[in-house]
Amino acid sequence: MNRTPVLDLVGTVARVALAAVWLVSGTLKAIDLDQTVVAVRAYDVLSRGAADVVAAVLPFLEIAIGLLLLLGIGVRLVAVASALLLLVFIAGVAQSWARGLSIDCGCFGGGGAVAPQATAYLQEIVRDTGFLALAAWLIARPHTLLSVDARLSAGRT
Amino acid sequence: MGGASRNERKRRQEAAAQRLASAGIQVPQRANNTSLIIVVAVVVAAVLAGGVVLYLRNAGTVATVTPAYAATSSGAVVTAGSGKPTIDVYEDFLCPNCEIFEKAYGNEIVSALNDGKLTVRFHSIAILDKRSSPAGYSTRAANAALCAVPAGTYPAYHQKLFASQPSEGSAGLTDDQLVEFGSQLGAKGDFAGCVKGAKNAAAVTAETQKAVANPAAQTNGVFGTPTVIANGTQVNLNNTNWLKDILAAG
C-alpha cells in the first residue's frame, strides 16, 4: 500500500496550519505596532534601538512567512526560517521565565509587563513547541499538495 | 527497506534523466531557483515595510508640543497646570515603559496642561537606581528635574530627559550633561549647583518609599512605573482613551 498520499495530506495540513499561525500572529502585531514595541522591549534582551527595529520588522516578516507557507513557495526553506524564529521566541520566553520577569509573550499581539501571577510561560513554550513540530515535519518532508513548489517542479519528475 | 526503495527510485530517475539527455531534451532546473527568488523577494518586501514603519515613527516623535504651563514643586512632587481634573503620574526617568508612555501620551498631556484643562502631579520616582552602572541614575535624573522647577524650565526639561533617555544598564547621563540640558533650556539661578549637590535626592527617596507603600499605586501588590492615579484609583493605561475619558468627565 502506498503511504505517499497520506503523508502529503498530513504535510499539507501542517503547512496550512503553520501559515495560519503566522498570518494571525503577524496581523495582530501589525495592527498595534506600538504595543509590539512594548512587547519586544519587555523581554529586556535587546537595546532600545534594536528592539524597535525588531518590533517594526517582525510583524511583516511573520505575515510574509505565513503567505509563503499558504501558497507553498519554498516550503522547506520557509519551514527552516519558521523553526529558527520559533526557537528564538522560545528562548526569549524561557529567559524571561528564568530571570523572573513578569511579562506576556506578546505572541499574538498584546505583550508587555503583567502581574506576576498572570504570566503563562509554560503554556507559551508548549504552544510554540507545537508550532515547532509543524515546522519540523515540513523541513523533513516539504512535499505537500496544492503548492506552488509542486507546480514549479511538475515539469521535471 | 525505505532507504533501499529510495535508492532504487533515485537510480531510476537518473537513468530517465540520462535517456532524456541522450535524446537531446534539456530538463529545466530552474524550479527551485524560482521558489527561492520569490521567497527572497517577499522577505525583502517585509523588511522594507518594517523600515517604513520605523522611519515614520521616528519622524513623528520630532514634533513635540511645546509646553507652556506653570509648575511648582513640594518635596519631590511637581504640580503642573491648573485644570479641574487632577491626575497623579508616577515616573522614573530610566524606566523604558515611562518613555513609551511619554511618547504615546506626552503631547496629549502637555496640550491639556497648556490649555488649562488638566492638573498633573508628577511624582519623581527612583525605583531603578540599580539598573544603571554605576547605580543611581534614576535619583540623579529625578533630582535634576526637580532642580529645573525653581530654574523655570521643568516642562521642557521633563520632555528632554525622556527624549534623551539612556538605556538600562548604561551609566546614564552624566551630571554635566544634566546641567548642560538646563543651560540649553535657559535654566535660571544655580541650576548646576542644585544638580551636582543632589539637593532633592532625599526628597526623591522619601517620595519613592511613599509611592511603593501606597496601595492605590500598586498593581497586585507591586508598585511599578508608569502609574497614573485619578480620583484615588489607578488608571488602566491599556485603554488608549484614558486621558480623553478623564478630560471628558471633567
| Residue in B13, B38, B97 closest to A113 by CB | B97
pTM for the full model? Answer: 0.62
Interface predicted TM-score (ipTM) of this complex, two decimals = 0.90
Mean pLDDT for the stretch of residues A16-21: 98
Mean pLDDT for the stretch of residues A89-117: 88
pLDDT at B62: 47
Is there a contact between B97 and A78 if contact means CB atoms under 8 Å apart? no
Mean pLDDT for the stretch of residues A111-134: 90
Q: Is the Cβ of A44 closer than 8 Å to some Cβ of chain B?
A: yes
| Residue in B38, B46, B222 closest to A60 by CB | B46
pLDDT at B61: 55
pLDDT > 70? residue A147: yes
Mean pLDDT for the stretch of residues A136-144: 96
Per the CB < 8 A criterion, the answer to whether A51 and A40 are in contact is yes
| Residue in B31, B168, B219 closest to A152 by CB | B31
Per the CB < 8 A criterion, the answer to whether B158 and B226 are in contact is no
Q: Is the Cβ of B220 closer than 8 Å to some Cβ of chain A?
A: yes
pLDDT > 70? residue B63: no
Bridge partners for B72 per DSSP: B79
B43 Cα to chain A: minimum distance (Å) = 6
Closest to B124 measured CA to CA, from B95, B164, B156: B95
Q: Is the Cβ of A52 closer than 8 Å to some Cβ of chain B?
A: yes
Per the CB < 8 A criterion, the answer to whether A10 and A137 are in contact is yes
Mean pLDDT for the stretch of residues B67-76: 94
Name the least confident of A60-64, A110-114, A137-141.
A110-114
Q: How confident is the model at residue B2 (pLDDT cuts 50, 70, 90)?
A: low
Q: Is the Cβ of A117 closer than 8 Å to some Cβ of chain B?
A: yes
Percent of chain B whose predicted confidence (pLDDT) is above 90:
62
A49 Cα to chain B: minimum distance (Å) = 9
* pLDDT per residue as tens digits for the range B14-24: 787 777 777 77
Percent of chain A whose predicted confidence (pLDDT) is above 90:
68
* A-B Cβ pairs (cutoff 8 Å, strict): 90
Please state, as a whole number, how many other Cβ atoms lie within 10 Å of the Cβ of residue B183: 12
* pLDDT per residue as tens digits for the range B182-208: 999 999 999 999 999 999 999 999 999
Identify the closest residue of chain B to A118 by CA–CA distance: B220
A156 Cα to chain B: minimum distance (Å) = 7
Among all chains, which residue has been given the C-alpha cell 498633573?
B120
3 state DSSP class of B92: coil
Residue B115 has phi, psi (to 5 degrees) of -85, 0
Is there a contact between B167 and A60 if contact means CB atoms under 8 Å apart? no
Separation CA B104–CA B89 (nearest Å): 14
pLDDT > 60? residue A60: yes
Name the least confident of A62-76, A102-116, A118-132, B133-147.
A102-116
Is there a contact between A73 and B35 if contact means CB atoms under 8 Å apart? yes
* B31 interaction partners in chain A (CB closer than 8 Å): 149, 152-153, 155-156
* pLDDT per residue as tens digits for the range B130-175: 888 789 999 999 999 999 999 999 999 999 999 888 877 678 899 9
Name the least confident of A36-50, B16-30, B229-243.
B16-30
pLDDT > 80? residue B37: yes
pLDDT at B1: 46
Bridge partners for B121 per DSSP: B79, B88
Identify the closest residue of chain A to B33 by CA–CA distance: A74
Residue B204 has phi, psi (to 5 degrees) of -65, -45
Percent of chain A whose predicted confidence (pLDDT) is above 70:
97
Identify the closest residue of chain B to A39 by CA–CA distance: B97
Q: How confident is the model at residue A113 (pLDDT cuts 50, 70, 90)?
A: confident
User: What is chain B's mean pLDDT, rounded?
Assistant: 88
Is there a contact between B46 and A153 if contact means CB atoms under 8 Å apart? no
pLDDT at B26: 61
Please state, as a whole number, how many other Cβ atoms lie within 10 Å of the Cβ of residue A90: 19
Identify the closest residue of chain B to A63 by CA–CA distance: B46
pLDDT at B20: 74
Is there a contact between B35 and A148 if contact means CB atoms under 8 Å apart? yes
DSSP A75-100: HHHHHHHHHHHHHHHHHHHHHHHHHT
Among all chains, which residue has been given the C-alpha cell 522614573?
B92
Bridge partners for B120 per DSSP: B80, B87
Closest to B157 measured CA to CA, from B136, B179, B138, B140: B179
Identify the closest residue of chain B to A60 by CA–CA distance: B46
pLDDT > 80? residue A28: yes
Among all chains, which residue has been given the C-alpha cell 496544492?
A146
A142 Cα to chain B: minimum distance (Å) = 13
Cell reading at B59: 519622524
* pLDDT per residue as tens digits for the range B82-99: 999 999 999 999 988 898
